[in-house]
Amino acid sequence: MKYMLFSAATNLLRGCLRLLGPHTGAVAAARLAEQLAPTYVVRTDHGALHFLCPGHIPLWQAENFFTKEPETITWLDQLPPDAIFWDVGANVGTYSLYAALRGARVIAFEPSAANYYLLNRNITLNRFEERVSAYCLALTDNAQLDHLYLSSSEIGEALHGFGQPTDWRGQAFSPSTKQAAIGQSIDGLLAAWMLPFPQYLKIDVDGIEEQIIGGASRALADRRLRSVLIELNTERAACRDRVVSALRAAGFALQHVQRAPLFDKSIYAPVYNHIFVRED
């Protein structure tokens, strides 16, 4: 019932804006959009986080902060003070912001222009400009100019494909649009730029995990990197096994394979976060 009332109120508002004429109506709509975009506050044991929610997907992410990936929250809670955390596939910044709240120095990567915009708005909203540096960049196995094939142009959306329209299941999909994007490997970034070396690395990229691991052989072998959390589709068994083998060969032990109960009956049930720790 409440959604029917909301839809009716929205239609009434649209009608009123049309009555104002094209120019005045557009100005009024722009002002309303600016004023009505809500900020959702997530209260944690370490303080509050503020998320700008200009659409239903960012709002859902904020509302499900503790239940979407509880294993990621637990992993981030174990970061030591002033840890250097790289967030590959940061989306709108849920875990980048939490890591910063916990005291980490964060380097975040998000190739979607829409998500990158909101990621930076959230960084500013939480006054984390000195703790979080965000780059509109896709990580892969080499330096390249290519395209990000978008599953949807909605802000906060994921499940995109970089380099080719292939989804998290390894299957081709019909993108809603595509966006020019820059790709680079982790090793290439570290060689070319004076970025803080990652001690903790999170990879959530929906399909090209193997390429990212392939482009990070030198970083993975460096003992400064203490732990890796990577989301893998267990139904893509061969790909998953190659990633696990590469990390084990680099000196990591697979500590946990976990997923939130929230997804038990969804199409994402085979997708688990794999948490690796450096073997001393």
pLDDT digits (tens, 9 = 90+) for 38-63: 899 999 999 999 999 999 999 999 99
pLDDT tier for residue 8 given thresholds of 50, 70 and 90: low
What pLDDT is recorded for position 96? Answer: 98
Q: At residue 83, does pLDDT exceed 70?
A: yes
- Which whole-number Å values give the CA distances from 187 to 195, 208, 214, 259, in the listed order? 11, 16, 9, 29
Q: What is the pLDDT of residue 25?
A: 58
With tokens 């589709």, the residue in question is 233
Average pLDDT for residues 81-85, to the nearest whole number? 95
What is the SS3 assignment for 76?
Answer: helix
For residues 182-208, average pLDDT: 97
pLDDT at 16: 77
Closest by alpha carbon to 228, among 257, 196, 208, 206? Answer: 257
Instruction: Report pLDDT for 22.
Output: 72
Tens of pLDDT, residues 225-262: 999 999 999 999 999 999 999 999 999 999 999 999 99
Percent of the chain with pLDDT over 70: 89
- For residue 229 the two structure tokens come to 């959390």
Joined together, the tokens standing for residue 241 give 């096994």
Tell me what pLDDT residue 198 has: 98
The angle subtended at Cα 90 by Cα 97 and Cα 265, nearest 5°, is 105
Given this model, what pLDDT does residue 1 score?
A: 56
Query: How many residues does this entry show for the chain?
Result: 280
Q: Is the pLDDT of residue 98 over 80?
A: yes
pLDDT of residue 24: 73
Average pLDDT, the chain: 92
> What pLDDT shows up at residue 199?
98
pLDDT at site 38 = 87
Instruction: Please say whether the beta carbons of 199 and 224 come within 8 A.
Output: yes
The matching CATH number, chosen from 3.40.640.10, 3.40.50.150, 3.40.50.720, 3.30.450.80, for 52-278 is: 3.40.50.150
d(C-alpha 230, C-alpha 232), whole Å: 6
Strands 132-135 and 227-233 come out as unpaired
Max intra-chain CA distance, the chain: 70
> Per mean pLDDT, which range of 29-33, 69-73, 181-185, 259-263 is the poorest?
29-33
pLDDT of residue 2: 47
pLDDT at 14 over 90: no
Q: Residue 129's CB: how many other CB atoms inside 10 A?
A: 12
Among candidate residues 179, 253, 242, the one with its CA nearest the CA of residue 208: 242
What's the whole-number mean pLDDT along residues 15-23?
71
By mean pLDDT, which of 20-24, 81-85, 271-275 is the weakest?
A: 20-24
Is the pLDDT reported for residue 23 higher than 50? yes
Query: What single-letter DSSP state applies at residue 172?
Result: B
